[in-house]
Structure 1
């Protein structure tokens, strides 16, 4: 017999308000939204707890979504005790070709400039990268992460902002043994305190 999950604990400001019925599509659409962004299987109990609905409701919505995806290019599957959205095996060739072409495509000028900033000023946050380039770099950073050229290397103690650095693959692609072999470009980039000032101005 299934049991309802324990309601979320209260915080100092009281329980987190969540009016699931006021959301377009209700709990089913909310479950779908969560499954679209997770990178690992999510258990029904975790979904029920997050959305403050019963476990039976979650299981019913999962079954409905599984049926609705029957003629889509993706499927909802139960694996390792949880649920996750996967591309269908029938489209593996198309997905593989897309991924491989993306991996071999040339980097854009924006990506190259962002990669240079990371290489010479690492570890560095997105805010500081954006301060150097004068534009929002979220999309470019995601591209470089996906290409394996940069990676998360920690976080700033004060702000908690993620810090990024280059990878071993980056060195391999440039034919370098280590970062010390990079050309002497760093003196032409702003120092960290200047980057912080620029980043603060961008948030003002």
Structure 2
């Protein structure tokens, strides 16, 4: 069937369609007690003579709520809710939703109240609101950044890294390093009794070597905290051979070093760092405190041993074998 024949057929069906409220009501069976109706009485439900003639319906009578593929026809001015007997209040509430459904061609739900996105509510569609972006940290000027770094360095009890300072101050790490160098150069140029020095992978304030005598007099108060010769030799072996086992240290020194190693561990200068794969013996290395006491940034800054070795070291090594 062509499109033109289909439109003619639909138009004929629409022209012959009678609304439900205008259709004649079938006669009710009369009982013996009911009187017969008068001959000129109009049947119940029959259309009145004053009723308006049924308007013709063309293809424009299709309801938007039926969608583009619907074949149901309504007369102009009639809604689906009226033909189905829906109350007027329900029809008015549903009609905007039906119009919206036809506009988007899919399932549309009523608009949600303001401030609700429908996220996490079953059966609701909603656009997830993006999380608010955190406000960027204020950029400190050079004077304020310098003061903040000096205040932190005065209270630290061990060297602090540039990354830690950048995280605490919420500033770029690229600004921290140059500013610390500038502060250190300023202390040196001003001739202060302290200096800012890099040590053990971080930065810390130290007293200047030329004032060490006064500092020792104040701190030690006559107490001797010097290490014994055996402890110094053992500490030197660990520093240059780390990680190293006890047996290796004893072999280098030629004596048992268990007691000396325990002393160094209790002083915080040496620590265990695992076990040897072959023998399972404990390995020892120097600590961060060791670097702080010597004012070194890492063990790579230790002075080379070659200038301190005797000229006949090979002969001495052969003699001990």
Instruction: State the structure with more CA Rg.
Output: 2
TM class, shorter-chain normalised? 0.3 to 0.5
Where relative contact order (Cα < 8 A, 6+ residues apart) is larger, the structure is 1
Q: Which has the higher strand share?
A: 1
Q: Calculate the TM-score normalised by the size of structure 2.
A: 0.26
